[in-house]
Amino acid sequence: MNECGICLGEWTNPVRLPCGHSFCADCLSGWKPKHGFEQAEKGQRKRCPLCRAALPPSRDQISEMKGAKLLMKNTSHPDYEDHVLRVKRFEAEYGEDWDGTMIEYDSDFVNLPMYVGIALNKGNVRAVLQWLSKGNIRERVNAKCEEAGNLGLLYLSARR
């Protein structure tokens, strides 16, 4: 049976949790625990809507945390305190000893080549547009750079 436990409809972009339950990606990302983020600050993790098993972080949460850790290296950056807070929130919710388990999505993301990320950082928009035009733009616009903590092309562009 391919039924989402949240919307009770057929799965769209299914996400399988380590506990074995599957949900629509949008349903799971939109689902909020009863007390929201305050529970994470109290040391309580988000839980599966069906069996209440603790949820691992999503790929996006891990990317955000890794990106914040990279940016934390520059203590003089004006957003330094914000980056520290992001990492602390992640560690409060998942623990400092998080084992690397994460929510897996069925669809794989496109890898953003490091040279494209570097070109974007240097303001070389032409190189980025050339890379985008060589493939499926809808897939490539959501590309993520593994070497940079899975930061996405759109995220890197917005930071610029």
Boundaries of every domain in the chain: 14-105, 114-159
pLDDT tens-digit readout, 51-83: 888 878 877 777 788 888 888 888 887 888 888
Look at residue 122 and tell me whether its pLDDT is greater than 60. Answer: yes
Whether residue 2 contacts residue 12, with contact meaning beta carbons closer than 8 Å, is answered with no
pLDDT over 50 (residue 116):
yes
Asked whether the predicted pLDDT for residue 102 surpasses 80, the reply is: no
Which string of DSSP letters, residue by residue, matches 33-86? -TTTHHHHHTTPPPB-TTT-PBPPPPHHHHHHHHHHHHHTT-TTSTTHHHHHHH
Confidence band of 154 (pLDDT split at 50, 70, 90): confident
How far, in Å, CA of 95 to CA of 15, rounded?
23
pLDDT at 134 over 70: yes
Q: Is the pLDDT of residue 127 over 80?
A: yes
User: What's the CA gap between 128 and 124, in Å, rounded?
Assistant: 7
Band of pLDDT at residue 43, cut at 50, 70 and 90: low
Query: What's the pLDDT score for residue 38?
Result: 47
Mean pLDDT of 28-34: 65
Of residues 155 and 83, more confidence is placed in 83
